[in-house]
C-alpha cells in the first residue's frame, strides 16, 4: 500500500503520476505481483485521474478506512501490454 499527500503548490505537476508509475514498475518487475489494486475517495477526482492515467480500470466501490471508496486495478499483463 502506498499513499501520497502533496502540498497544494505541488499539485498538477505530475508528481503523483510519476511516483505511482515507479511503484507499479517495481511491483510488477521486481516483486512480480500479479495485480495492483488502488482506492480513492470518490470526491478526489485528481487521485482517480492518476489511476486512469496509469491504465488502471475502475472496478466499482468498496469499503476501506471506514468509508466508501472507488476501487481500481491493473494486472501485470495489462501493464506489460501498455
In the predicted model, is pLDDT for residue 5 greater than 90? no
What mean pLDDT do residues 72-81 have? Answer: 96
**3: confidence class by pLDDT, cuts 50, 70, 90:** confident
Q: Which long-range contacts (CB under 8 A, 24 or more apart) does 14-22 make?
A: 16/46, 16/47, 16/50, 17/50, 17/53, 17/54, 20/50, 20/51, 20/54, 21/54
> What pLDDT, on the 0 to 100 scale, is given for residue 4?
81
| 20-61 per-position pLDDT tens digit | 999 999 999 999 999 999 999 999 999 999 999 999 999 999
Amino acid at each position: 500500500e502506498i499513499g501520497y499527500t502533496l502540498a497544494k503548490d505541488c499539485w498538477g505537476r505530475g508528481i503523483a503520476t510519476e511516483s505511482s508509475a515507479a511503484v507499479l514498475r517495481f511491483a510488477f518487475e521486481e516483486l512480480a505481483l500479479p495485480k495492483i489494486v488502488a482506492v480513492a475517495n470518490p470526491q478526489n477526482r485528481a487521485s482517480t485521474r492518476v489511476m486512469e492515467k496509469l491504465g488502471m480500470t475502475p472496478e466499482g466501490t468498496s469499503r476501506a478506512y471506514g468509508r466508501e471508496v472507488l476501487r481500481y486495478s491493473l494486472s501485470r499483463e495489462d501493464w506489460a501490454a501498455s
